[in-house]
Chain A
Amino acid sequence: MKLVVLWRVLVVVAAIALLEVLCLAGAIDRITMPPPHEIARDLWRMLVSGRMNGAIRKTLTNASIAFASAAIAGVAFAALLHNHRQTRSTLDPLFATYYAVPVFAFYPLLIAVFGLGDLPQVLIGFMLGVVAVIVNTLNGLDRVPRVLAKTAAVNRLGRVRTAASITLPYAAPHILTGVKLAVAYSLIGVVGSEFIMSRGGIGYEISFAYNNFDNATMYPLIVLILALSIAVNAFLTRWEQRLRVRRGQR
């Protein structure tokens, strides 16, 4: 296990070292990519100077709103849908093909309807995330043992209380899988739509820097957003695993 981690670190370090060598040797020219040590230095300077704080705040705020609404709406909708089998089976084809349809294709339409504010970006993040939450929550609710439903009935719990205190907590690990996807998807949705067309945010700054051949800003921002999403995903994956282990041992 330890050996695997060591190898993983080694692969990453080797890849960065290779890029560094290629850049310094001139195999990759400076217009294409600055050497990694300069990217790291520029990233540090950028964070210290705080000139990107506004963009970072905007992106994180919008992604959080998109994520929170996707998680809440997704769980609530799935809890409702779970009781309506006919509606659910009608929606099945939608869920099955949803992620095959490029959600970003709706972005121009959303801009045309709502204008170029924050709303279209938040909506894209929401649309990307919400179905993952719905599908995984349904999947979790399907696995709730019947004895628990009976216990709820014996204790005369209403529908809402049954959902809040029995079925949803039981389905928590599955819901977390959906929530984890929603975090990644809402960030992808917000940054992606900022990147395509917007008035601010990390995605916008990256595309602005690209258009101005400003590699000293573009590469640090790319590294920042990648590092951020890797960190968030790693944290959630660990949390999910811990939850599963606890369930397994019970």
Chain B
Amino acid sequence: MSADVGAMAAAEAGESRGTGIRNALILVAVLLAIWQGLYWTFGDIAIASPAATARYAIGLFGSERFWPHLIETSKAFVAGYALAVVLGLGIGFWLGFHRLSSEVLEPMVVAVYSLPKVTLYPILLLAFGLGISAKIAFGTLHGVIPIILFTIAAVRSVKPVLVKTGRVLQLSPAAMVRRILFPAALPEIFTGLRVGFSLTLIGVLLAEMFASQRGLGFLLMNGIGLHNVEQIMAITLLIVVFAASVSTVLLAIDRRLHRHA
């Protein structure tokens, strides 16, 4: 039994890449099997088969109609994420440095994290108007929070001796951030950037699902109106595959950074 625990600890400490990939493959196979099983049970009217969905998804890339939507979502996402990173790092470093500000504001940021932020979207629509800027703002609103929180934690966890060394060398605040704090806090900050990536994507898609005429989120909702299950499932599949694969890559980088730290 103690060997068991040892093996488990070893598995957790450094799960070999082979097992990770094998697990992921088994998982994908099982999910596909469940999907196919559901298709056999419920039939064509309710859902599309994996093969038909994949065919439809590939077909989308060949159609003129699809590209403007993909580009719209990508633009909103890239802009939203860029804003979230800049704001998140800025606010995170400020709060990480300044004890009182962070004690006052951090719990508020945490509270915002667990709010149903969808309800704020109409306010953004009224403020920015229908269009891409409201989507960008909503994506940023989602993505910026984890980046702030992880950056605060990252800055605080930097060893005091490093900061003192910087003071002795009389570094300016900017140089202090660039040469000492940022490299030392990088692994933790990266975790924030990783979570922020996913949440920004969620924010942008949510925004598109409500009162939008363009983008992947719009295509999803449009599929309901058209009773086009294949379109709904193909877009869902594309989003899930994109989100899951990017997050897997980011997670791998994240773990490597944490191991080196």
Interface stretch, picked from B79-87, B117-125, B156-164, B175-183, is: B117-125
CA distance A92 to B209 in the complex (A): 30
Interface readout for B191-232 with A: 1 if CB under 8 Å, 0 if not? 000000110011001100111000001001101100101001
Q: How big is the B interface, by class?
A: 35 or more
Residues of chain A lying within 8 A (CB to CB) of residue B42: 113
Partner of B244, one of A33, A101, A207: A101
For residue B216, give the distance in angstroms from its CB to the closest CB of chain A: 8
For residue B90, give the distance in angstroms from its CB to the closest CB of chain A: 18
Interface stretch, picked from A50-58, A67-75, A102-110, A169-177, is: A102-110
Partner of B206, one of A8, A11, A104, A230: A104
Interface stretch, picked from B18-26, B55-63, B64-72, B165-173, is: B18-26
CB–CB B206/A196 < 8 A = yes
Count of chain A to chain B residue pairs whose CB atoms are closer than 8 Å in the complex: 163
Counting CB contacts under 8 A, is A146 at the interface?
Answer: yes
For residue A229, give the distance in angstroms from its CB to the closest CB of chain B: 5
For residue A108, give the distance in angstroms from its CB to the closest CB of chain B: 5
Partner of A206, one of B20, B30, B119, B220: B119
For residue B104, give the distance in angstroms from its CB to the closest CB of chain A: 4
CB–CB A203/B119 < 8 A = yes
Interface readout for A158-201 with B: 1 if CB under 8 Å, 0 if not? 00000000000000000000000100100110011001110000
CA distance A187 to B248 in the complex (A): 27
Residues of chain A lying within 8 A (CB to CB) of residue B10: none
Counting CB contacts under 8 A, is B233 at the interface?
Answer: yes
Residues of chain A lying within 8 A (CB to CB) of residue B221: 108, 196-197
Interface stretch, picked from A40-48, A83-91, A242-250, is: A83-91
Q: Is the interface of B mostly helix, strand, loop or mixed?
A: helix
Partner of B122, one of A218, A226, A229: A218
CB–CB A230/B248 < 8 A = no
Partner of A104, one of B27, B30, B205, B223: B205
CB–CB A8/B108 < 8 A = yes
CA distance A12 to B130 in the complex (A): 29
Residues of chain A lying within 8 A (CB to CB) of residue B5: 146
CB–CB A97/B247 < 8 A = yes
CA distance A191 to B120 in the complex (A): 11
8 contacts between A and B (CB under 8 A): A89-B11, A96-B247, A97-B243, A100-B197, A184-B115, A187-B116, A209-B122, A211-B211
